[in-house]
Each structure stands twice: as C-alpha cells, then as structure tokens.
A and B are shown apart, each in its own frame.
Chain A
Amino acid sequence: KAGVTQTPRYLIKTRGQQVTLSCSPISGHRSVSWYQQTPGQGLQFLFEYFSETQRNKGNFPGRFSGRQFSNSRSEMNVSTLELGDSALYLCASSVSVVDMNTEAFFGQGTRLTVV
C-alpha cells in the first residue's frame, strides 16, 4: 500500500512569487490535512479537507489556501511569498477525523525555501 506522497520534495522560490504544493493521500483516505513546520513555531495546523470540503482551518493569513479534488488529492497554495514562509510543509492523510481510532499518516514533506 503506497504511503502519502508529496511533491515536490524541495522548492526554492523568490519573495513575492506564489507556489503550489501537492499531496496524494493513501488510497481510501478521504481526509487530508496540512501542517507547517518551522524551527521557531514548531508544527502548526494549516487546514483540513474532507471530501473536497474544507472542514477546519488554522490561524494563517489568507495567502495560504488549499483545495481537494474528487480523487482526494490535495494542493495547497501560498501567494505573495515571504521569507517567513520558508518551512517544511507536511501533508497527513486519514480515513476520517483523527481520533483514538483513526490515525494520521504523514508524507515526507516539501521543503520550501523563500529567498
């Protein structure tokens, strides 16, 4: 069974540009969540999608957006990049809501560097 696939693994962008990251969840998983990991702020929740609907959103500016397709694949987009957006972006997939019976499986992440 294939795991969570994130592409690309590494990305370098210039301030002001926009970027799109992709996540393919485990087959059969309908929930996809995105997290930002930085040395200063740690792991922070961005948003969660289930069956193409955003169910939950973290405390990030509107420059961060996402979507989910009918095949459960998800993309996140960051517009007008800032230096502070440099981070490891992690995608997690789960069958449904993460609780004691449902766990989240993470991809290897996309390392975004903004210069």
Chain B
Amino acid sequence: AQSVTQLGSHVSVSEGALVLLRCNYSSSVPPYLFWYVQYPNQGLQLLLKYTSAATLVKGINGFEAEFKNSETSFHLTKPSAHMSDAAEYFCAVSAGGKLIFGQGTELSVKP
C-alpha cells in the first residue's frame, strides 16, 4: 500500500530563513504526489503537484519541491520564509483515486 511519511510534526524557522519540510513516500510505481497547505480553520489548498514532466516542481507562494526517486523523497522548500507561511503542510499521494496524507508538519515563523 502506498503511504507518505512527513518527518517532523513541528518546524520553526526565522523570517527570511530557508524552509525545508520533509516528505518520503513508499511506492513501487511512480507516484502522484502533492503538497497542500492548511491555514487555521480552513480547508486544504494545493501548493504544487508532481506530474513527472520535471523533477523540480514550482508551486504557489514561492514554494518548490524536488522529486528524488532514488531517495523516495519529495521535500518542500522555500528560500525565504514569510510570516504568512505559518500554517500546516501536508504531503499526499494519490492511490486508487483517493489521497493518502502524511501526518502534517506545522510550520512556525519567528519574526
């Protein structure tokens, strides 16, 4: 069964610092991978998705993720954190028409 694992339930960075949120997947075939963001009391918003066209995927709000099959990883990065990036981030894989989510990583941004 396909699954995703997010390392670190909480990540704290300073404003302007690099953001790195980790996601590893388990799949025997090329997976369909997504990153979503959730702000308090809101639904999920798609940040980016892996389409197999390119290993480096650019998303909204300056985020990007690199697909590394050799490491079964799809880590999310942003060069410079903003206060508005504080939220919970979910990595997900599509399997049989449903999304399987990681446990989420809460990102805090310190001024």
Contact = CB atoms under 8 A, between A and B. Distances in A.
B42 A56 contact: no
Contacts of A58: 98
Contact of B99 (A33, A100, A109): A33
Interface in B86-111: 90, 94, 96-104
A90 B44 CA distance: 9
A59 to B, nearest CB: 11
A108 B97 contact: no
A100 B96 contact: no
A19 to B, nearest CB: 19
Given A100-B51, A101-B51, A33 B98 contact: yes
B98 A105 contact: no
A107 interface: yes
A97 B46 contact: no
Interface residues of B, number: 24
A69 B34 CA distance: 28
B30 to A, nearest CB: 9
Q: Which applies to chain A's interface (DSSP): helix, strand, loop or mixed?
A: strand
A79 B48 CA distance: 36
Contacts of B94: 98-100
Interface string B10-24: 000000000000000
Contacts of A111: 41
Contacts of B32: 98-100
A55 B43 contact: no
Nearest to A104: B99
A105 B46 contact: yes
Given A99-B32, A100-B50, A100-B52, A106 B44 contact: yes
5 contacts: A31-B97, A98-B32, A103-B46, A104-B46, A109-B42
Per CB-CB distance, the 10 closest pairs between chain A and chain B, nearest first, are A106-B43, A43-B101, A106-B44, A97-B97, A45-B98, A108-B43, A100-B51, A100-B32, A98-B94, A42-B103
